[in-house]
Chain A
Amino acid sequence: MSAQGALSPAALPVLLTARTIVTRDRTRRRRRGAVVTGGLGLVAGALFTATMLAGSFAVSPLDVLASLLHVTHDPAVDFVVWELRLPVAVTALGVGIALGIAGWIFQTLLRNPLASPDFVGVSSGASLASVAAIILFGAGGLAVSGASLVGALVSCGLVYVLAWRDGIVGYRFILVGIGISQFMLSLVGYLLARAEIYDAREAMAWLVGSVGFAETAEIAALLVAVVVSLPIAWLLGRPLRALELGDDAALALGARVEWSRLGLIAVSIVLVAVATAAAGPLAFVALIAGPVAMRLLGPAAGGLLAAGLVGAGLVLAADLVASHLLPVALPTGVVTGLVGAPYLVWLLATTNREGRGG
């Protein structure tokens, strides 16, 4: 312990006390993090279970479990469980985790609660490419997902390059992102206006977003991306904790600032892109998940997993409301939009008052 080498013996008791206090503080923060994350996991698990059980065709929980484990083979039950409910539940879970984590990374990295992939060009790029694929090329299924992925990457790459000036500054990134976003959305509007009515309807359904449309291949791509991205995001969480202190502090701490930022943005874009490919641009999930997780965690900072679980909970709950609680079944995106829009208004109002959001 080189730092203590020069201390006088009289300082020792003070230091021992300080040591105990540091240990206690850390233990407390870790415990809160574990409890909150565990709790969010339970909530997400419960909502997942509810999604598997809810529906007009009554299947008992035991039958659902038996079908999932291939214990029984009742064609009707198997169809409901494997073809109708499981894809929706898994898509909602994967999309929620992906959007929650991506949103949290963007917000933490750019140090701004408004820095959601919804606004910085990722979702709009995916939307434009997908709508173009549907309307101009009559594409469907996986082709639309692929287009969405490419659109998200190109659009965010464009924002990154345009915002670059000896490095990336949060504000410029967000402003350029909003500009690119608006540009993309106006092109979407143009495409919709000149489309055949059937194509336009299909495109509109895609644009609202729903977890009910994903095909097996899209779900598989989503799961692979989430499973691969999670450990990468977790590893990059280490430099992210330094980056949060500002570029100068992060450089002084020995972080590779530009590479880490590029890696974090890349992981987020891939997550948003596969989520958008599977469920369309579900509004506001990425914007809300991070702040909710941060509020629940409080001093136990570092909410990567918590944000993902909040995202999963949001999408699962939104889908349950959209497909079962409302008199008419609606796309999931309508519900997340209804919840998210007031939050955005509140966020803009309060961040301005605190002088952070601009």
Chain B
Amino acid sequence: MNGDGPGRAAHRLGADGLVLGYGGPDVIRGLDVAIPDGRLTMIVGANASGKSTLLRGLARLLRPRSGAVVLDGRSIAELPTIEVARVIGLLPQASVAPDGITVGDLVGRGRYPHQGWFRRWTPDDEAAVADALAATGITDLIERPVATLSGGQRQRAWVAMALAQDTDILLLDEPTTFLDIAHQVELLDLLVDLNRERDKTIVVVLHDLGLACRYADHLIAMHDGAIVAQGVPADIVDAALVREVFGIDSVILPDPVSGTPLVVPRSRHGARSVVETA
């Protein structure tokens, strides 16, 4: 399970005929997907499109009603959960740190799947925690209680916790939701660094279509529990897709910073005649 160095065989994550739900009707109905190895994949969609449900399914937080999440050719439900935890890490959507916990303690808990009942803390753990803190730039905050951090720092601490888990695949459920624009960009840049420098396969559920188009190698657009389109953002994002996924008319411009598609929604108010005719 523990690969060594950059040459390690990448782990492959996907789903076959996946059906997921929370007790009511099915949210995801028979979905097939292959997550590209070593890429930064972003899942976008309107509220209740099933994007977070899909991510929760991939992270085995939801047991499939039928079909399977497949890791390296085997159904994830049949693998020991601790083994999966050495390959797939997750940053949950709403994380609340326990009272009084410090950054060092929180990040250290990411080592859980590498420890045993009796063998609890090794130099490997120490190195992985140091690495995770350095990568997220919060080494200096190690003694601070998580509750005293700013929103951006707190999210970094949680990312560091997931990084300390030292997995090839990292799933993040709307990691930018409570962050201001500066911290959103900072966090997404960090994810790109992790993807490029460490060959991690990263899957992010993101609200913001513009940021998703800028950062994603691979975009998955979801609507009503199904994948509507997937691929390189520049290839798939057009006004028709945006209308189908978000139910809104828009104008697609090249992002002046990155050249990727920039979605400018049309609205009932505030429109200018220049844009109307664009």
Contacts and interface: CB of A to CB of B under 8 A. Distances in A.
Interface of A: 1-8, 11, 14-15, 17-19, 21-23, 25-26, 28-29, 108, 111, 166, 235, 238, 241-242, 244-246, 248-249, 251-256, 294, 298-299, 301
Nearest to A302: B105
Contacts of B60: 251
Nearest to A112: B99
Contact of A249 (B86, B90, B132, B163): B90
Contact of B133 (A22, A242, A248): A22
Contact of B198 (A3, A18, A23, A108): A3
B189 interface: no
Interface of B: 2-6, 8, 22-23, 56, 59-61, 81-86, 88-90, 92-102, 104-106, 108-110, 112-113, 115, 117, 120-121, 124, 126-134, 139, 142-143, 145, 161-163, 165-166, 171, 197-199
A17 B139 contact: yes
Q: In the A-B complex, list the 4 residue pairs whose CB atoms are closest, starting with the nearest.
A: A254-B85, A252-B90, A248-B92, A254-B82
A253 B112 contact: yes
A308 B98 CA distance: 20
A22 B100 contact: no
Contacts of A23: 126
A2 B134 contact: no
Given A2-B5, A18-B130, A166 B23 contact: yes
A248 B61 contact: yes
A244 B22 CA distance: 23
Contacts of A254: 81-86, 112-113
Contacts of A299: 100, 102, 104-105, 143, 145
Nearest to B126: A22
Given A5-B4, A252-B90, A255-B112, A22 B124 contact: no
B109 A18 contact: no
B198 to A, nearest CB: 5
Contacts of A5: 4-6, 8, 198
A25 B81 contact: no
Contact of A244 (B98, B108, B127): B98
A298 B108 CA distance: 16
A166 B143 CA distance: 36
Nearest to B8: A2
Given A108-B98, A244-B98, A294-B99, A22 B92 contact: no
22 contacts: A2-B8, A3-B127, A3-B131, A6-B6, A11-B134, A18-B131, A18-B134, A22-B133, A25-B104, A26-B108, A28-B143, A111-B96, A238-B117, A238-B120, A244-B109, A245-B106, A248-B90, A249-B95, A253-B85, A254-B81, A299-B102, A299-B143
A246 B81 contact: no
Contact of B142 (A15, A21, A251): A21
B143 A26 contact: no
B234 to A, nearest CB: 27
B158 to A, nearest CB: 8
A8 B163 CA distance: 18
A8 B82 CA distance: 30
A256 B124 CA distance: 23
Contacts of B139: 17-18, 21
Contact of A18 (B59, B106, B133): B133
A235 B166 CA distance: 24
A245 B98 contact: yes
Given A238-B115, A238-B120, A252-B59, A301 B101 contact: yes
A7 B100 contact: no
A252 to B, nearest CB: 4
B89 to A, nearest CB: 7
B105 A249 contact: no
Contacts of B86: 254
Most B CB contacts (10 A, CB to CB) among A6, A18, A248, A299 go to A18
A14 B110 CA distance: 21
A22 B129 contact: yes
Contacts of B6: 5-6
A22 B95 contact: no
B130 A22 contact: yes
A246 B97 CA distance: 8
Given A252-B92, A301-B100, A26 B126 contact: yes
A246 B113 contact: no
**Among the interface residues B94, B130, B145, which one has the most CB atoms of the partner chain A within 10 A?**
B130
Contacts of B23: 166
A22 B104 contact: yes
B63 to A, nearest CB: 10
A2 B85 contact: no
A337 to B, nearest CB: 25
B124 A1 contact: yes
Nearest to A253: B112
B146 to A, nearest CB: 11
A260 to B, nearest CB: 11
B130 A15 contact: yes
A31 to B, nearest CB: 13
A251 B98 contact: no
A103 to B, nearest CB: 15
A104 to B, nearest CB: 12
A248 B56 CA distance: 9
Nearest to B127: A1
Given A19-B130, A246-B92, A25 B142 contact: yes
A5 B5 CA distance: 4
